[in-house]
Amino acid sequence: MSTVTEARKRFKAAGRVRPRFWRMQNVRRIVQVLFLALFVVLLAFTVYPVRSSIPVDFFFRADPLAVLSTFLASREVIGALIPLAAVMLALTLVLGRFFCGWFCPMGTLIDLSDRFVVRRTRRAAGAKGFPQVKYYILAAVLVSALFSVQVAYFFDPFAILTRTVVWVLFAPVALLGRAVTGSPWVADWAPSLTQVPFIPETQPHYRMNLLAALLFGGILALGLVSRRFWCRNLCPLGALLALFSGWGIVRRQTQSDKCIECHRCDRECKMGAILPDSHRYLARECIYCYNCVSVCAPGATSFPITLQREGFETATDLNRRRLLGFAALGALWAGISAGDIGAKKVGNSSIKASSPFRIRPPGSLSEEQFLQKCVRCSLCMKVCPTNGLQPALTEAGIEGFWTPVLVPRIGHCAQHCTACGDVCPTDAIQPFTAAEKKYLFIGRAYIDRSSCIVWAQDKKCLVCDEHCSYRALHWKVVDGLRRPFVNEYLCTGCGECEAKCPVQPIAAIRVTTLGDLRHLTREAQKRFYERHLEKEE
């Protein structure tokens, strides 16, 4: 009789497990759903004006990878990020790598996809995969950060998930919400629904939404190879938490007198953490999903609080040559970024040569500091009421890929709005007030006289002057006709004139990085503005 048949008979003879309702596995699922709901609710509250009692960047504050990579890249400690990240690492030291199995919304969505989408076509759940790769990726990310180049955004699960939800799902959800709340039936029968604060007044659109959808879809499709393939093999945040989880006091134990050697536990382990003899497991890979407990018919497996090391394996089995190779890859990427045209400055100025239309949000740090701190979370894009903040394509070079840039033709920077500074988790965009925006110079508008209606056609047009919130347009008589000019001391580069210009498809007045004073301190920008006021007086 085969070994498999004997195992099946022993498993059947052992009887059934305790009722499903009382399993820790079900408690974990409830917690997973609650934290996924919290993630969605916080994103829903990321609208102008921000009124959430819980910081909308809560998950990024609890993300040790974002905190560490930002610190290494900028050489600055961001106070708001330290407490939650420190608590997360401390809990991981004590309890093990529980975060990945209980709280991570990305892991929850991967579990749902594995269970309901790719379940029937997935390969064996117990396939071990390549768990060392995530440590190599972590090394590349951190070494790149040491050279002041931020690449954690491409691998951080919170950044990936937030971008996907904002760029891919937010637009159709907003469109559906506007259709529902704007219908006459809703207005007659449920008028309160017409004022839902989570639905933006402007229908959002985002560049790169297809690429974001394909990347996230690819992560879910990796479930065809093995369960939680991303978490098991590629996630650098999981690798960082795993490095802190080798001393946890909650440890898996198997009672030899009850174990029937059916090996169902190692087949059902979604992380491939249980070794072939079933009594030993890789502690750094265990995410406390309790699958092994729920399928153990005789109840031989448990997770008591103990310091016993029997079966408790903490080795990572890393290849030193590959680790150094990935570290060198991170350094190489930093070198490529430094040699890209996006890093070149024009003369002795702070203006980059990559694109004159790389307009950053107000309150942004100088370009070098901004790129070091921005984790491409897209919260600033989500909260922008005019939809003007978009992911950068080539405007800032490869180092600035997916960072936020203002595209005035899509939406301008509203004078009253301060939301992007309120939601930025890493202080790449520092908080500011509406009163301060008049001297936060992010660019300057210029008039293309070859296409301007007034200059080129000698016709009357007051659109840019009427819509300028900072009164930066003034008029002079030239050749007997009144012509518009831009006051360089008053124009902040908000782009409202460009957004409203009737000339199509390219506006006759456009904002460029000329006049960008972000390399100066906020006080220096204020003095620049006040000096003009003194001259006017």
pLDDT block averages, 10 residues each, the chain of length 537: 52 47 79 96 90 90 94 90 93 94 95 81 55 94 95 94 94 81 63 66 89 95 91 95 92 88 87 88 92 86 90 88 95 88 69 80 93 94 95 89 95 94 94 94 94 92 94 90 92 95 94 90 89 68
Could you tell me the two tokens for 373? 């701190």
- The pLDDT value given to residue 344: 76
Say what the pTM is: 0.89
Can you tell me the distance from the alpha carbon of 295 to that of 282, in angstroms, rounded to the nearest whole number? 19
Query: What is the reported pLDDT for 348?
Result: 62
Tokens 């694109």 locate to 355
**Single-letter code of the amino acid located at 341:** I
Are 150 and 377 within 8 A, CB to CB?
Answer: no
Q: Which residue has the tokens 């497991």?
A: 281
The pairing of strands 312-313 and 281-282 is parallel
Q: How many CB atoms lie within 10 A of CB 57?
A: 25
Cβ neighbors of 89 (< 8 A, separation 6 or more) are 64, 241, 244
Provide the phi-psi class of 476: left if phi over 0, else alpha when psi is between -120 and 50, else beta: beta
What are the CA-CA distances from residue 173 to residues 108, 168, 213, 404 (Å)?
21, 9, 15, 22
The CATH number of the structural domain formed by 247-313 is: 3.30.70.20
Position 196 scores a pLDDT of 64
Among 102, 33, 89, 95, which Cα is nearest to 61's? 89
Q: Side chain identity at 473, as an amino acid letter? A: L
Is 474 in a helix, a strand, or coil? strand
Task: Tell me if residue 417 falls in helix, strand or coil.
Answer: coil
Can you name the residues that pair with 212 across neighbouring β-strands? none
Q: What is the pLDDT, as a whole number, of residue 264?
A: 87
The per-residue pLDDT for 117 is 80
Amino acid identity, residue 256? S
Report yes or no: 528 and 517 within 8 Å, Cβ to Cβ.
yes
Q: Do residues 236 and 64 touch, judged by C-beta distance below 8 A?
A: no
Q: Calculate Rg over the CA atoms of the chain.
A: 28
Burial (0-12, 13-18, 19+ Cβ within 10 Å), 315: exposed
- 184 phi and psi angles, rounded to 5 deg: -60, -35
As a whole number of angstroms, the distance between CA 68 and CA 72 comes to: 6
CB atoms near residue 427 (< 10 Å) = 20
Show me where the domains of the chain are located.
Answer: 24-243, 247-313, 363-536
DSSP single-letter state for residue 464 = H
